């Protein structure tokens, strides 16, 4: 007989047949067996994601990353997450507002600083959830406040010690780049320092740093804030970073946590940039009687600088008291000298022409702070909250402009040489009290009373600059906007292990008044009922549905209300409208999530609809000389809706994984052209299909196709109706034969087609690179990269909006090859054990 068991010596015994004592052999003792293992290889497959109660958690180690990848590169591989060319993040159909690192704020409220700078190999897990408010995290009571948030959970070996990198490189066409990043994370402290400089069109640490301030009247030539129509206007067919830009930036982030409930954080980001832009713009404008074409040449050199400080305090004391404070201070300035020439044609006959020169210098100083105090009463049965906020901003610009305009029929000309100095002071402060009471075991009631006051004071000094400066009173308004409001609300909340339900009803009442040159003023009174609903239900592990509805109001700004003409562009005069009414916006969204952790199959679906009543939009009047007067009006409505689905699954027999993404969207907007309503309807269809290999030991191959069809219809003229189609293919092959060498080739080919444009836009971008790592733990690397190897990058941009189609062609960075050296600032890496665990990537 033989007796064996794992971990014990095998026992052999002689037996006699037939056996005695009814075959009962009694206890059989086995001796332990000791084995020394030189190396053990365990192969398995990581579960790429889990759907927890309120969180989608991705295992970062289940997704293949490459040497030098940042978090943004990792996020692009995760099902349900999309990142556009500007780095904006959408998760499950919603914009991501916050990116945390180990649950803590990182460089204030700009999520792209973390995603574009933290190394991907420092991340252990990516958690996606709707972040609760700080108040809810303290009380444990759902208050319905949600922000789509990503939390980056660091590897354990990155939570102690210093890591980061320094890189410097130079290339053809005098291109260069240099950057340094240093991180130090521990249980209590979070420290990061960043620096960069380049001339390859990379702004700051994120695109948001550059866009935070572009100052100047040249960017608000119509004098007001941006007005958009529907969720998908304007239509954009391929957007790139135009011009030649050089920039530099520095940043510092520090956070300290005494405990989970007590932490303090502060961050600073400063950046500066210079962009040289040459543009040729063709605009085809439509009226009820026909169309006309404008050709424009623009030359400008834009300089910007910005500085920003963010800070916050979270302080829980005596277990029942909590103080929360957030704030920021920013200082920005910019310079934009601009030269342009424009010609307008009707039926190929020149109607007018204009030459413009301007110089603009602008600056802005602003700061805001908000805080709250919470008191837990009767062991959580009641919560008292006192809150407040304040904002103050001072902006100014000094502009000198010259316009020379000529007309052909009858022949005439006009010239304007003027200065325009603007000063805008903005303020906003408010506060309130909230009381929460536990009514039943899972039912809570909230009573809130809040009030506030906001306003803008706009002072403009404008007049002739030649032969001597002379102020013109009719162009130099003093305009004030004052908005005062009270907003009581009542809500009921029900929470249990499987679901949450919030019903809320607010009543916003107030008035805003305007004063022009100290006149008697115009007052507008408003009263809005603003209901909201939030429902979530996890009906099975990995299965969840969500439904949300909200109503909000929007008060027009001072620039939209001020009725004094802005003549910065003599052919397009802008007037505000003092009679504008507030907008009311209703939004509904629904989501359904499924993930099977056994088959690694996921399905994310969403539906959304938004309706705006009394939408603020443009009204345009064009005369026979093709001069345009633009103002703002309330139109009856604006509607946008959409549905999307994201399906991901492996095909194991083929050794690949696939992702299918579908998005359908609809929008309908109204603008006024020559006193006629022009209803614009857009229907967009977008589909993408991608494949990549699952086994990525040496080869990492991914490819995919995308297609988009947009149909646009215009009620003002049926012959304006257009159909836009673009199709793209991308592919990337990476080969890593060992731990030292990494090579890749990538291609991205996009073709844009539209009925309106005779020439198709074909953009093939090909890149390649090789990285060689050396020294212990691969601390040093040499990188050779090539951008746009076919030299086919183009600065063509096509936009359809309101009653016009516009195509712009810009100078743009083209082909270059760069050789760089990289030094890793950490000593992490290497195996300390004789046991190797080899886990397959997803």
Secondary structure letter of residue 243 according to DSSP:
B
Given this model, what pLDDT does residue 21 score?
59
- DSSP string of 52-86, one letter each residue: -SSEEEEEGGGS---TT-BHHHHHTTSTTEEE-TT
CA 595 to chain centre: 26
Q: Which parts of the chain have pLDDT scores under 70?
A: 1-2, 6, 15-23, 34-47, 53, 84-87, 92-94, 109, 132-146, 204-240, 380, 597, 755-759, 827-842
The residues near 683 (Cβ < 8 Å, ≥ 6 apart) are: 665, 666, 710, 711
List C-alpha distances in Å: 557 to 429, 458, 576, 585. 16, 11, 10, 16
| pLDDT of the residue at 388 | 97
Compute the radius of gyration of the chain from its Cα atoms. Answer: 31
Burial code of 693-715, b = ≥16 C-beta within 10 A, e = fewer? bbebeeebebebebebebebebe
Q: Which of 206, 16, 240, 39 is nearest to 115 (CA)?
A: 206
Phi, psi of 225 (to 5 degrees): -70, 165
Q: Which residues contact 785 (CB under 8 A, 6 or more apart)?
A: 767, 768, 769, 817, 818, 820
- Supply the pLDDT for residue 423: 95
Q: What is the pLDDT of residue 379?
A: 72
800-842 per-position pLDDT tens digit = 777 778 888 899 999 999 999 999 887 543 434 333 334 344 4
- Omega before residue 234 within 30° of 0, cis: yes
pLDDT at residue 218 in the model: 35
> Which element (helix H / strand E) includes 719?
none
Contact yes or no for 491/144 (Cβ under 8 A): yes
Backbone angles phi, psi at 117, to 5 degrees: -130, -35
**Tens of pLDDT along 30-74?**
887 765 555 444 455 566 777 776 788 889 888 877 777 888 888
Q: In this predicted structure, what is the pLDDT of residue 142?
A: 59
Tell me the two tokens of residue 285: 């404008």
- DSSP assignment string, 263-332: EEEEEEEEEEEEEEEEEEEEEEEEETTEEEEEEEEEEEEEEEEEEEEEEEEEEEETTTEEEEEEEEEEEE
Which tokens go with 154?
Answer: 């660091």
Two tokens, residue 393: 């901003």
Residue 811, both tokens: 């100078």
The mean predicted confidence, pLDDT, of the chain is: 84
Which helix (H) or strand (E) is 187 found in, with range? none
Contact 724, 712 (CB under 8 A): yes
- Tokens of residue 550, six digits: 């909200």
pTM beyond 0.75, yes or no: yes
Comparing CA positions, the residue from 85, 176, 173, 174 lying closest to residue 815 is: 173
Predicted confidence at residue 581, as pLDDT, reads: 93
Q: Which domains does the chain have, with CATH numbers?
A: 166-840 (2.40.170)
Tokens coding 593: 């999530």
Spatial CA neighbour of 640 closest among 604, 589, 592: 589
pLDDT, one tens digit per residue, over 160-214 is 778 889 999 999 999 999 999 998 888 888 899 999 999 998 876 654 444 443 4
At 836 the pLDDT is 37
pLDDT in the model for residue 227: 37
Q: What is the pLDDT of residue 27?
A: 76
């Amino acid at each position: 007989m033989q007796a064996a068991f794992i971990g014990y010596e095998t026992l052999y015994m002689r037996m006699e047949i037939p056996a005695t004592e009814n075959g009962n052999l009694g206890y059989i003792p086995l001796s332990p067996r000791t084995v020394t293992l030189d190396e053990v290889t365990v192969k398995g497959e990581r579960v790429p994601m889990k759907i927890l109660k309120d969180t989608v958690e991705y295992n970062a180690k289940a997704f293949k990353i490459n040497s030098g990848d940042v978090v943004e590169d990792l996020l692009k591989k995760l099902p349900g997450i999309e990142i556009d060319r500007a780095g904006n993040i959408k998760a499950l159909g919603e914009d991501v507002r916050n990116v945390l690192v180990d649950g803590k704020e990182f460089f204030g409220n700009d999520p792209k600083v973390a995603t574009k700078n933290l190394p991907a190999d420092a991340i252990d897990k990516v958690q996606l959830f709707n972040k609760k408010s700080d108040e809810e995290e303290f009380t444990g009571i759902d208050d319905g406040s949600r922000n789509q948030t990503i939390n980056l959970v660091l590897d354990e070996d990155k939570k102690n010690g210093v890591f980061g990198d320094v890189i410097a490189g130079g290339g053809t066409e005098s291109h260069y780049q240099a950057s340094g990043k240093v991180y130090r994370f521990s249980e209590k402290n979070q420290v990061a320092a960043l620096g960069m400089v380049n001339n390859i069109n990379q702004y700051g640490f994120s695109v948001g740093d550059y866009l935070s301030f572009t100052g100047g009247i040249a960017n608000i030539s119509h004098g007001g804030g941006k007005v958009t129509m529907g969720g998908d206007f304007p239509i954009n067919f391929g957007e790139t970073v135009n011009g030649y830009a050089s920039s530099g930036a520095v940043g510092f982030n520090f956070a300290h946590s005494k405990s989970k409930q007590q932490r303090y954080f502060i961050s600073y980001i400063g950046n500066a940039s210079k962009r040289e832009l040459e543009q040729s713009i063709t605009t085809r404008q439509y009226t009820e009687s026909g169309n006309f074409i404008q050709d424009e040449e623009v030359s400008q050199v834009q300089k910007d600088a910005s500085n920003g400080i963010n800070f916050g305090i979270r302080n829980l004391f005596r277990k029942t008291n909590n103080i929360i404070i957030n704030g920021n201070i920013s200082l920005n300035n910019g310079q934009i000298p601009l030269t342009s020439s424009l010609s307008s044609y009707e039926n190929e006959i020149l109607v007018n022409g204009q030459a413009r020169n301007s110089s603009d210098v602008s600056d802005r100083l602003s700061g805001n702070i908000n805080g709250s105090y919470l008191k837990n009463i009767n062991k959580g049965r009641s919560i008292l909250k006192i809150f407040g906020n304040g904002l103050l901003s001072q902006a100014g610009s000094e502009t000198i402009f010259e316009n020379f305009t000529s007309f052909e029929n009858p022949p005439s000309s006009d010239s304007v040489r003027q200065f325009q100095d603007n000063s805008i002071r903005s303020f906003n402060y408010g506060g309130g009290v909230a009381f929460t009471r536990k009514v039943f075991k899972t039912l809570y009631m909230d009573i809130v009373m809040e009030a506030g006051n906001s306003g803008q004071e706009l002072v403009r000094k404008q007049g002739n600059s030649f032969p001597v400066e002379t102020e013109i009173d009719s162009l130099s308004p003093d305009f004030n906007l004052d908005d005062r409001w009270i907003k009581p609300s009542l809500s009921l909340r029900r929470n249990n292990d499987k679901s949450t339900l919030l019903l809320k009803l607010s009543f916003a009442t107030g008035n805003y008044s305007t004063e022009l040159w100290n006149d008697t003023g115009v007052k507008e009174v408003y009263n809005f009922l603003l209901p909201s609903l939030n429902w979530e239900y996890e009906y099975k592990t990995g299965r969840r549905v969500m439904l949300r509805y909200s109503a909000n109001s929007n008060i027009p700004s001072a620039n939209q209300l001020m009725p004094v003409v802005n003549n910065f562009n003599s052919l397009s005069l802008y007037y505000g409208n003092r009679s504008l009414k507030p907008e009311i916006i209703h939004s509904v969204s629904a989501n359904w999530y499924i993930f099977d952790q056994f088959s690694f199959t996921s399905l994310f679906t969403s539906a959304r609809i938004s309706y705006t009543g009394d939408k603020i939009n443009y009204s345009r009047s064009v005369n026979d000389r093709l001069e345009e007067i633009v103002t703002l009006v309330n139109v009856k409505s604006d509607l946008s809706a959409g549905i999307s689905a994201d399906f991901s699954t492996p095909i194991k027999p083929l050794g690949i994984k696939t992702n299918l993404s579908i998005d359908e969207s609809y929008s309908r907007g109204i603008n006024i052209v020559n006193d006629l309503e022009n209803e614009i309807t857009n229907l967009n269809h977008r589909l993408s299909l991608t494949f990549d290999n699952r086994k990525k030991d040496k080869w990492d191959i991914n490819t995919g196709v995308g297609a988009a069809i947009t149909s646009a219809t215009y009620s003002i003229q049926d012959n304006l109706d257009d159909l836009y189609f673009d199709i793209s293919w991308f592919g990337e092959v990476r080969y890593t034969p060992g731990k030292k060498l990494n090579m890749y080739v990538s291609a991205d080919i996009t073709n844009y087609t539209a009925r309106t444009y005779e020439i198709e836009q074909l953009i093939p971008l090909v890149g390649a690179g090789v990285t060689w790592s050396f020294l212990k733990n691969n601390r040093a690397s040499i990188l050779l990269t090539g951008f746009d190897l076919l030299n086919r990058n183009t600065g063509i941009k096509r936009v359809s909006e309101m009653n016009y189609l516009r195509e712009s062609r810009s100078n743009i960075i083209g082909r270059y090859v760069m050789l760089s050296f990289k030094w890793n600032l950490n000593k992490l890496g290497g195996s300390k054990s004789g046991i190797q665990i080899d886990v397959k990537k997803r």
